[in-house]
Structure 1
Amino acid sequence: MDARSYLFVPGDRPERFAKALGTGADAVVIDLEDAVVPAAKLAARDGLRRWLPTVDPARLIVRVNAVGTPWHLEDVEMVRASGVSVMMLPKSDSARQLAEVAARLPSTVRIVALIETVAGVVAMREIAGVPSVARLAFGTVDFCGDAGIEGLGAELDYVRSQMVIESRYAGLAAPIDGVTPELDHLERLTEHVAGARRFGFGGKLCIHPRQVEPVNRGFAPSEDERRWAARVLAACSEHPEGAFAVDGKLVDRPVIERAKKIAEFDTLIH
């Protein structure tokens, strides 16, 4: 669950599935929910069921329809029988809801809990503690609609901080930030990725293939960071028991741990 880029693909566009897998996205999310109109949902599910046995599902995630919708239970049953190992649950509102969904799935299937309502934010600690939940994701646009908030930037800082804190408290991977709706504004995307990373997020939802590469790059250590980590770890080996400085700054245990994470990044992601 250390993916950086999560690329959504409409579940009723099977001709795009293989193309999405070829984009370099760390994970491809086949979306049976918002991207598919009600009249097409049954056909989308059936088409996905036929396609899944033809590919390696390792990088695939299925976003099912929300609990309480007419399509939810059969979506979950399709995932259960498919061999897909990760499912995304929209409108994740309570720990009980997540536990009931998890009970219908093999124990090996992990759930990305998409937090996109006020109820989900209020229950976030309990949701993050459900054993089958592997990561939290922020459905920013839907959350703003539910909360009556206008704007996807500083208006959501409180929720982003809470999501990072609760993920860390539950021992989950760093959470996944919401989409950047502007498809032709890669500078805005780059700004959003940098901001999410500063807050402690580890990935981002993508709605177009052109967003994948900037997201992957933005959540990876820069060359300057890699060189800094190498200097810290080299100095650490020379001073195994005492305090020392690198680039004129004191290095202590948290700094050393950060350097180790940067040095291990390529190994972890691949």
Structure 2
Amino acid sequence: MTSPAKTAPYPLTWLYAPGDRPGVVAKALTSGADVVIVDLEDAVAPDRKDYAREATADLLSEPEPPVPVHVRVNALGTPPAAQDLETLAALPGLSGLRLPKVTSAEQIIHLAQTTPPTDPGAPPLHALLESALGIERAHAIASAHPSLHGISLGEADLRADLGVRGDAGLDWCRSRVVVAARAAGLPPPAQSIHPDIRDLEGLAASCAHGRTLGFLGRAAIHPRQLPVIERAYLPTEAELEQAETIIKAGAANQGAQALADGSFVDTAVVATAQRTLSLARRA
């Protein structure tokens, strides 16, 4: 499916907004986020689910929102999730469905085969892995169906499931989902949210760590987090200079070579440099 709104070549910021607060969703659409995720799950109280779904349907009835809009539906296998999918999946303003607490490839296949299609096909699916079982089956989930366009972690639920206290306890799971996405030919995952909206220094440090693990971009829960995430994932001046040097060297000599500073250049290094320049151009 072609998104009804123009998607950034490398989305870096994914902003959650509660589906039962249309005013907040409207602000999110003009916040500068690359993608807005309307949340019908954790952010909405049980007695507000129907209203959130109706408000989101009104939003998605318009075919060209300012930025791509994804919807995080309710927990799979529940009546609210079935209602979410039936009501929203075929609407023209929808750019993707985010599926919480995915634990098997069969869930993805079933949804891809039964979800009402958009024009010209099934809406893109994005799986959230939030349990030990989901992590163990990460590659099977990531490669389950062509309609699956991405996987990422839901770290709050995963932390609770594993009984992990320190942040470092999740690093193996983070690397696992990065590798699974790459092995399945999916884009690099975006990081899970940083829950303290006041802790911008901690957010920046966490983003820097996520970047070293192979993540690309991050989900946010407040607009003030967006510039921090974008700065963390955009290339530095030094990285840009190095990328330009690598690409010039690769153009001049197609084989593997060593640069004057001792760094090694081959096809894989050139590809990484090209992505660095592509990220810089989005700024």
Contact (CA 8 Å) 1:77, 1:104: kept in 2 or not?
A: no
Q: 1:219 aligns with which of 218, 229, 233?
A: 233
Moved >3 Å (runs of 4+)? none
Q: Deviations over 1:123-170 (max 9, x none)?
A: 11111012211111110011111122223x211111011111111100
TM-score (normalised: structure 1): 0.93
Shift, 1:241, TM fit? 4.1
Query: Are the structure 2 counterparts of residues 46 and 189 from structure 1 closer, same or farther at C-alpha, using a change threshold of 3 Å?
Result: same
From the two aligned structures, give the one with the greater helix fraction.
Answer: 1
Amino acid at match of 1:139: G
Q: Structure 1: state its 5+ residue gaps.
A: none
Aligned to 2:277: 263
Q: 2:109 aligns with which of 99, 103, 106?
A: 99
Q: 1:13 aligns with which of 21, 37, 45?
A: 21
Amino acid at match of 2:36: V
Q: Pairwise mapping of residues 153-232 of structure 1 onto structure 2 (< 5 A)?
A: 153-232=167-246
Query: Are the structure 2 counterparts of residues 147 and 52 from structure 1 closer, same or farther at C-alpha, using a change threshold of 3 Å?
Result: same
Aligned to 2:124: 110
Q: Structure 2: state its 5+ residue gaps.
A: 1-8
Aligned to 1:82: 91
Q: Aligned-pair RMSD on alpha carbons?
A: 1.7
1:39 and 2:47 matched? yes
Which deviates further from its counterpart, 131-140 or 247-256? 247-256
Q: 1:143 aligns with which of 147, 150, 158?
A: 158
Shift, 1:235, TM fit? 2.3
Percent identity, aligned pairs only, is 35
Which deviates further from its counterpart, 83-92 or 26-35? 83-92
Q: Distance in 2 between matches of 1:111 and 1:224?
A: 36
Contact (CA 8 Å) 2:178, 2:214: kept in 1 or not?
A: yes
Contact (CA 8 Å) 1:6, 1:26: kept in 2 or not?
A: yes
Q: Distance in 2 between matches of 1:157 and 1:201?
A: 12
Q: Distance in 1 between matches of 2:148 and 2:272?
A: 25
Amino acid at match of 2:176: Q
Q: Distance in 1 between matches of 2:198 and 2:215?
A: 23
- The size of the alignment, in residue pairs, is 268
